[in-house]
Structure 1
Amino acid sequence: MDRDAVAALSAAIEAMAPDFTTISDSIWDFAELKFEEQQSSALLAKALEDNGFAVRRGVAGMETAFIGEAGSGAPIIAFLGEFDALAGMSQLAGIAEAKPAADGATGHGCGHNLLGVGSLMAAIALARHLKTHNLPGTVRYYGCPGEEGGSGKTFMVRAGLFDDVDTALTWHPAPFNGVRSTNNLAVLEYFYRFKGIAAHAANAAHLGRSALDAVELMNVGVNFLREHMPQDCRVHYAITDAGGKAANVVQAKAEVLYLIRAPEMAQALALAARVDKVARGAAMMTETEVEIVFDTASTNLLPNLALETALHNNLVALGPIAFDERDIAFAQSIQQTFTDEAISSSIRLYRIKDDVFSNAWIDGSTPLHLGLRAFEGESHFRAGSTDVGDVSWVTPTAQCWTPAWAIGTNPHTWQVVAQGRSPAAHKAMAHAAKALAATGLSLLTTPDLLAAAKAEWREKTEGKPYVCPIPADVMPGGKLPQRA
């Protein structure tokens, strides 16, 4: 590790932080949903162009997807950025109470306003360093829309946009600082649309065939199925159309969305086939018809310990984040909205007590993670899903986390949105950028690291060719005709 070079990268990121904090806060304000991130995408792409990157917009059939590139030659290092928000997550910033800015509006409940800009800072800082020192190598920034239920990266992978990438790096806001090697779940999403016959629910109920009854019976059937599926699988649903609000009308249509998760895509597909049978059985019981419509999918994550170790080592070299008393005070006020169980669960889940910096953890009362979790050097189970998984199957990929949120914070909550513009979150974003940029430089200047990451990736993928889980005729937001 060239400590002088890493110090120069960190200094460059600190210098650009005020301007890029403004970009992050603007994206927080926009809070645009999947595939609708027009303003966010444009702002990020312009920042790349202003810093000498050549930008391709509208890639992989997605209007808000883009790629920025700087430098030349091998290797090609990719930085992944996200910038989509969540529906119904509106929340005022900087307060420790649930108070939406506008009822029913959107909000950045997963911190993607920070994620996209942190990766952007890393890419720009590294590209500048290569240019200043006349070093070979290409830096790419991937503007990835629709991570929240849209699988934007999966469409980009399907389009071959990562085929020539040597490695990919990313990060995510969290209540902890460090690298956590995880095996995320593969996920498939399907709409089950039932069609029945309307009738007066009192005078002619015998003539009706209730689509809502079919949805309810399907849900009951799947609940019984949970007892007989592999332990690490997950199935969740949401009734997206109950068929209307009139109780005296037999519902002629109803729809339910299912997410089916499993440790590997083959298992997810097998479980989906069983869910399909339950849906068809519900249709048979109610004499309705069911249409099964593919929505989207993401493949399970393939960890890369060589890359993760390099990321961890760079986080060690960076040291703790310099949070101040105001950061601690605001995190404390947020933490007071959690139960003791939520806080202890967060500490246990992320192994915050196993700290690299021995003086970082004193008595468990600190609301922000002031240290760095120890890296286990092995992967473990995590029940969530991400389209980063698809990238990991076509190029070695790694990610880190930095403490933008108070300990105990869970993603997709109002507390995440409230902390999304805080000074502590901005510091965590810059810290992630420094770790990513330093790791990118390590890959560009240490051939053995790049070779080790690729060798590990080849070993894990041998005999397991990647098959995109999204059919070729499905576009973002599009649907697949009924499956046989």
Structure 2
Amino acid sequence: MDKQQMYEYLEEKKPVLTNLSDRIWEYAETAFEEFQSAALIQDVLRNHDFTVEAPIGKIKTAFCGTYGSGRPVIGILAEFDALNGLSQKAHSAVQQPLVHSGNGHGCGHNLFAGGSVGAALAVKEYLETNHLPGTIKLFGCPGEEGGSGKAFMAREGVFQGLDAALAWHPMEVNAIFDIEFLANYQVLYTFKGKAAHAAAAPHLGRSALDAVELMDVGANYLREHIISDARIHYAITNSGGYSPNVVQSSASVLYLIRAPKTFQVEEIYQRINQIAQGAAMMTGTDVQIDFIKACAEVVPNRFLSNILYENLKQQKLPEYTPEELSFAQEIAKTTPPSEDRALDSLNRFRGSLSDEEIHRCAGQLHGKDLCDIILPFHKEGQCARLTMSSDVGDVSWNVPTAQIVTACYALGTPEHSWQLVSQDKTSIGHKGMILAAKALAGAAVDLLEKPELVEKARQEFEKRLDGQTYRCAIPNDVVPKPIRLLV
């Protein structure tokens, strides 16, 4: 079997992968409760002669499927969790929730799972047919959304022993996702006070809601005194009930703190803790601080990214039917107004691409609703930086890691939106999923057949770490928590 035959094998497996992706879309399970999705993926792996270990990393929905033996050992990451509150009918250009306040795949992790599983199956077929040494591992990574599942897995040493890790993500464009993400902490602050009649005996009460509000005011003032690349977000998860004539005895607020480096997040976290303690002192309440999760910044590996780039360039990009183009156009009409949606989509790559390259690519996409080009990548260039976070960062501190993105949505589609959920179960998304599977599989085969490439990726990895070692920011006594337990 050569690479082209491997890609043809993937085309033959498209019904299996499409069914896998669509059923995960239908399950729409949120962080650490993806039991049906995890079981489905494991069944597909077992049916294709993978040995499955489950659970792993002390997470019930985490698993690893393995085929082959010996080195190199290549890992492929798969995500499959959904988001709360994004239920939406598939293939609709009108907002139509299937379930009121239900879940939806607003980040495309159903496609993520299908593409990653496809890549693993293709590499397995290549190894088996050609009687080659080497090992392919498919990691089922739950709870990326608000849970940092990979960070918990990394804390337990799940990714040790890998020579390289590959991943992808559905997006609006085809590109190497060599991006520096922000590290983050997520922390729950719960205030306990004393209930009382708010009119008859307010002096007897101690308001937990007052404490939450004072804490939020203090955090807002802190924003002026942190580095410009940092972010502080919060959500009041418990406001103390629905009775304004009762002094609220309990209230909670969930904070998400981001910064380019973990040590910077830690500094801001300690200051926010002081603000919380000050709010408790001002209101005569007690505060409990529960660390929920964290993820590290990404350690780029441009050598490994370039291998992915070369394999992505070898693929024939999807061709779209008139029906697909028409649907993308209808979706585009519902997205936020923009003078140039293509340029907006490309701006996230500013830093890794020059202004000239961005405008040239935007010109190639002008007037189009679906991306039909591959963005340039420069092995010796710089990384772009996004103000979002990804628990792939914790993997990248343990093993050389690289990612790609492929076009699964209309240009201008917002992340975490009903429009994105609607497109996750369409032929447009499926085509992007198969494209990703082919590029990942091709890169994995290169690494398996040429161990010297693995060594060069390792050399860059060690150079970037410069003597630093991975330390998971999540305390050892913290366990993964489903989203519903935080509200």
TM category (shorter chain) comes to over 0.9
Q: Which residue of the partner structure matches residue 209 of structure 2?
A: 212
Q: Spell out the pairing of 1:136-285 with structure 2 (5 A cutoff).
A: 136-285=133-282
Contact between 1:347 and 1:408, CA under 8 Å: does it hold in 2?
Answer: no
Q: Is structure 2 residue 470 aligned with structure 1 residue 470? A: no
Q: Deviations over 1:371-393 (max 9, x none)?
A: 11111432121111111110000
Q: Which residue of the partner structure matches residue 313 of structure 1?
A: 310
Deviation at 1:340, TM superposition (A): 2.9
Q: Which residue of the partner structure matches residue 430 of structure 1?
A: 434
Which region of structure 1 is more displaced relative to structure 2, 280-289 or 252-261? 280-289
Residue 205 of structure 1 aligns to which amino acid in structure 2?
Answer: P
Hey, what's the Cα distance between the residues in 1 that align with 2:61 and 2:153?
Answer: 12
Deviation at 1:320, TM superposition (A): 2.3
Hey, what's the Cα distance between the residues in 1 that align with 2:366 and 2:174?
Answer: 15
Deviation at 1:317, TM superposition (A): 1.3
Q: Is structure 2 residue 370 aligned with structure 1 residue 368? A: yes
Deviation at 1:359, TM superposition (A): 9.6
Deviation at 1:127, TM superposition (A): 0.9
Hey, what's the Cα distance between the residues in 1 that align with 2:62 and 2:406?
Answer: 25
Q: Which residue of the partner structure matches residue 348 of structure 1?
A: 347
Contact between 1:196 and 1:211, CA under 8 Å: does it hold in 2?
Answer: yes
Residue 345 of structure 2 aligns to which amino acid in structure 1?
Answer: S
Contact between 1:355 and 1:361, CA under 8 Å: does it hold in 2?
Answer: no
Q: Is structure 2 residue 145 aligned with structure 1 residue 135? A: no
Counterpart secondary structure, 2:175: coil
Give the fraction of aligned pairs with identical amino acids, expressed as a percent. 44
Q: Deviations over 1:275-294 (max 9, x none)?
A: 11111111111111111111
- What count of residue pairs does the alignment treat as equivalent? 475
Deviation at 1:323, TM superposition (A): 2.2
Q: Deviations over 1:387-425 (max 9, x none)?
A: 111000000000000011111112111111000101010
Hey, what's the Cα distance between the residues in 2 that align with 1:411 and 1:354?
Answer: 26
Residue 141 of structure 2 aligns to which amino acid in structure 1?
Answer: C
Distance 1:330 1:306, change over 3 A: same
Contact between 1:354 and 1:373, CA under 8 Å: does it hold in 2?
Answer: no
Q: Which residue of the partner structure matches residue 64 of structure 1?
A: 61
Residue 346 of structure 1 aligns to which amino acid in structure 2?
Answer: S
Gaps (5+ residues) in structure 2? none
Residue 269 of structure 2 aligns to which amino acid in structure 1?
Answer: A
Deviation at 1:120, TM superposition (A): 0.5
Distance 1:122 1:349, change over 3 A: same
Contact between 1:215 and 1:254, CA under 8 Å: does it hold in 2?
Answer: yes
Hey, what's the Cα distance between the residues in 1 that align with 2:370 and 2:280?
Answer: 51
Q: Which residue of the partner structure matches residue 449 of structure 2?
A: 445
Contact between 1:80 and 1:144, CA under 8 Å: does it hold in 2?
Answer: yes
Contact between 1:355 and 1:372, CA under 8 Å: does it hold in 2?
Answer: no
Residue 418 of structure 2 aligns to which amino acid in structure 1?
Answer: W
Hey, what's the Cα distance between the residues in 2 that align with 1:460 and 1:67?
Answer: 28
Distance 1:178 1:354, change over 3 A: farther
Counterpart secondary structure, 2:409: coil
Superposition RMSD on alpha carbons, in Å?
A: 1.9
Q: Is structure 2 residue 437 aligned with structure 1 residue 419? A: no
Hey, what's the Cα distance between the residues in 1 that align with 2:473 and 2:324?
Answer: 42
Q: Which residue of the partner structure matches residue 329 of structure 1?
A: 326
Gaps (5+ residues) in structure 1? 480-484
Counterpart secondary structure, 2:106: coil
TM-score of the superposed pair, with normalisation by structure 1: 0.95
Which region of structure 1 is more displaced relative to structure 2, 463-472 or 118-127? 463-472
Residue 289 of structure 1 aligns to which amino acid in structure 2?
Answer: D
Contact between 2:311 and 2:442, CA under 8 Å: does it hold in 1?
Answer: yes
Contact between 2:78 and 2:139, CA under 8 Å: does it hold in 1?
Answer: yes
Which region of structure 1 is more displaced relative to structure 2, 177-186 or 110-119? 177-186
Counterpart secondary structure, 1:332: helix
Residue 315 of structure 1 aligns to which amino acid in structure 2?
Answer: L
Contact between 1:295 and 1:478, CA under 8 Å: does it hold in 2?
Answer: no
Residue 111 of structure 1 aligns to which amino acid in structure 2?
Answer: G
Q: Deviations over 1:116-166 (max 9, x none)?
A: 110000011001101100111000000111111111111211111111000
Q: Deviations over 1:193-212 (max 9, x none)?
A: 11111111111112211110
Which region of structure 1 is more displaced relative to structure 2, 442-451 or 453-462? 442-451
Residue 403 of structure 2 aligns to which amino acid in structure 1?
Answer: Q
Q: Deviations over 1:321-374 (max 9, x none)?
A: 222222211111110011333824224334699779x99954611001111111
Distance 1:332 1:267, change over 3 A: same
Contact between 1:91 and 1:99, CA under 8 Å: does it hold in 2?
Answer: yes
| Residue in structure 1 matching 2:99, options 76, 99, 102 | 102
Hey, what's the Cα distance between the residues in 2 that align with 1:103 and 1:65?
Answer: 28
| Residue in structure 2 matching 1:78, options 71, 75, 87 | 75
Hey, what's the Cα distance between the residues in 1 that align with 2:238 and 2:46?
Answer: 43
Residue 131 of structure 1 aligns to which amino acid in structure 2?
Answer: E
Contact between 2:349 and 2:384, CA under 8 Å: does it hold in 1?
Answer: no
Which region of structure 1 is more displaced relative to structure 2, 440-449 or 131-140? 440-449
Hey, what's the Cα distance between the residues in 2 that align with 1:354 and 1:22?
Answer: 41
TM-score of the superposed pair, with normalisation by structure 2: 0.94
Q: Is structure 2 residue 112 aligned with structure 1 residue 115? A: yes
Q: Which runs of 4+ in 1 moved over 6 A?
A: 351-356
Counterpart secondary structure, 1:171: strand
Deviation at 1:5, TM superposition (A): 2.5
Hey, what's the Cα distance between the residues in 1 that align with 2:69 and 2:146?
Answer: 34
